Structure 1
Amino acid sequence: MPMWRRNLIVCWFGMFVTGVGMSQVAPILPLYIEQLGVHNTALIAQLSGIAFGITYIVSAVFSPIWGQAADRFGRKPMLLRASLGMAVVIGCMGFAHNVYVLIGLRILQGAITGYGTACTTLIATQTDKEHAGWALGTLSTANIAGSLLGPTIGGFVAEHFGLQDSFFITGVLLLVAFLTTLLFVKETFVREHQKTLGIKETWRIVPEKSLTLTMFVTFFVLTVALYSVEPIITVYITELSGNTGHIALLAGLAFSASGLANIISAPRLGKLSDQIGAHKVILAALIVAGLIFIPQALAQNSWQFIGFRFLFGIAAAGLIPSVNILIKKITPDALTGRVFGFNMSAGYLGVFAGSILGGQVAAWFGIRAVFWITSVLLLVSAVWVYFKVYQKLNNHELALGQNAD
Structure 2
Amino acid sequence: MPIWKRNLIVCWFGMFVSGVGMSMLAPVLPLYIKQLGVHDTGSIAQYSGIAFGITYIISAIFSPIWGHAADKFGRKPMLLRASLGMAIVIGCMGFATNVHVLIGLRLLQGVITGYATACTTLIATQTDKEHSGYALGTLSTASIGGSLLGPSIGGFIEEGFGLQNVFFITSGLLLIAFLTTALFVKESFTREDKKVLPLKAVWQLIPEKSLTITMFVTFFILTVALYSVEPIITVYITHLSHDSSHIALIAGLTFSASGLANIIAAPKLGKLSDRIGVHKVMLVALAAAGIIFIPQAFVSNPWQLMGLRFILGLTAAGLTPSVNVLIKKITPAPLTGRVFGFAMSAGYLGVFGGSILGGQVAAWFGVQYVFLITSALLLLNAVWVYFNVYKKLNRQEKLTM
Q: Assess same fold via TM > 0.5.
A: yes
Residue 210 of structure 1 corresponds to: 210
Partner of 1:306: 306
Matched to 1:227, the amino acid is Y
Q: Which residue of 1 aligns with 2:159?
A: 159
**1:161 Cα deviation (Å)?**
1.3
The corresponding residue for 2:117 is 117
Deviation at 1:320, TM superposition (A): 0.8
Counterpart secondary structure, 1:141: helix
Q: 2:88 aligns to what?
A: 88
1:279-298 correspondence to structure 2 within 5 Å: 279-298=279-298
**Alpha-carbon distance in structure 2 between the residues aligned to 1:284 and 1:23:** 28
Cα shift at 1:117: 0.3
Matched, 1:242 2:271: no
The aligned amino acid for 1:281 is: V
Question: Any idea what SS the aligned residue of 2:139 has?
Answer: helix
Which digits, 9 at most, give the CA deviation of each residue in 1:80-109, with x for residues without a partner? 000000000000001110111111101100
The C-alpha deviation readout for 1:354-400, integer Å capped at 9, x for no partner, is 01000111111111110011111100110111111111111111111
Displacement of 1:246: 2.4
> Aligned equivalents of 1:167 and 1:198: distance in 2?
38
RMSD: 0.8
How far the C-alpha of 1:193 sits from its partner, in A, is 2.8
Tell me how far 1:312 sits from its aligned partner.
0.5
Map of 1:359 onto structure 2 = 359
Contact 2:69 2:78 in 1 (8 A): yes
| Identical-residue share of aligned pairs (%) | 76
Counterpart amino acid of residue 256 in structure 1: S
Q: Deviations over 1:104-129 (max 9, x none)?
A: 10110000000000000000011111
Deviation string 1:218-267 (CA, Å, 9 cap, x unpaired) is 11111111111111112211111112112133222212211111111000
Q: Superposition pairs for residues 46-85 of structure 1, below 5 Å?
A: 46-85=46-85
State the secondary structure of the residue aligned to 1:245: coil
Tell me whether 150-159 or 228-237 shows the greater mean CA deviation. 228-237
Distance in 2, matches of 1:347 and 1:172, equals 26
- 8 Å contact 2:126–2:188 — kept in the other structure? no
**Could you tell me how far apart the structure 2 residues matched to 1:206 and 1:354 are?**
29
CA contact (8 A) 2:17 2:173 kept: yes
The one-letter amino acid paired with 2:111 is A
Supply the distance in 1 between the matched residues of 2:234 and 2:135 (Cα, whole angstroms).
Answer: 33
The letter for the 2-side match of 1:164 is: Q
In the TM superposition, 1:2-401 aligns within 5 A as 2-401=2-401
| 2:254 maps to amino acid | A
Letter in 2 for 1:393: L
**Partner letter of residue 258 of structure 1?**
S
Aligned AA (2:37): G
User: Residue type of the partner of 2:394?
Assistant: N
Deviations 1:323-376 (A, max 9, x none): 001000101111100000011011111110001000111111111110011111
Tell me which moved more, 169-178 or 193-202.
Answer: 193-202
Q: How many residue pairs end up in the alignment? A: 401
How big is the shift at 1:204?
1.7
Q: Output the CA distance in 2 between the equivalents of 1:287 and 1:12.
A: 28
Quick one: distance in 2 between partners of 1:43 and 1:256? 27
CA contact (8 A) 2:75 2:119 kept: yes
Q: Distance in 2 between matches of 1:208 and 1:119?
A: 23
**Equivalent residue of 2:231, what SS?**
helix
Stretch moving more, 118-127 or 210-219? 210-219
Q: Residue by residue, what CA displacement relative to the aligned partner does 1:149-208 show, whole Å, maximum 9, x if unpaired? A: 100011111112111111111111100100010111011111123111122221121111
Deviation digits for residues 273-314 of structure 1 (CA, Å, limit 9, x no counterpart): 101111111100000000000111111111111111111010
Paired residue type of 1:73: F
Cα distance in 2, alignment partners of residues 198 and 178 from structure 1: 31
> What's the secondary structure of 2:96's corresponding residue?
coil
Rounded to whole Å, the distance in 2 between the matches of 1:338 and 1:222 is 21
Does 244-253 or 298-307 show the bigger shift?
A: 244-253
Question: For residues 79 and 185 of structure 1, what CA distance do their matches in structure 2 show?
Answer: 10
Alpha-carbon separation, structure 2, partners of 1:348 and 1:21:
14
Please state whether the residue corresponding to 2:232 is helix, strand or coil: helix
Structure 1: stretches of 5+ with no match in the other structure:
none
Distance of 1:341 and 1:304 partners within structure 2 = 37
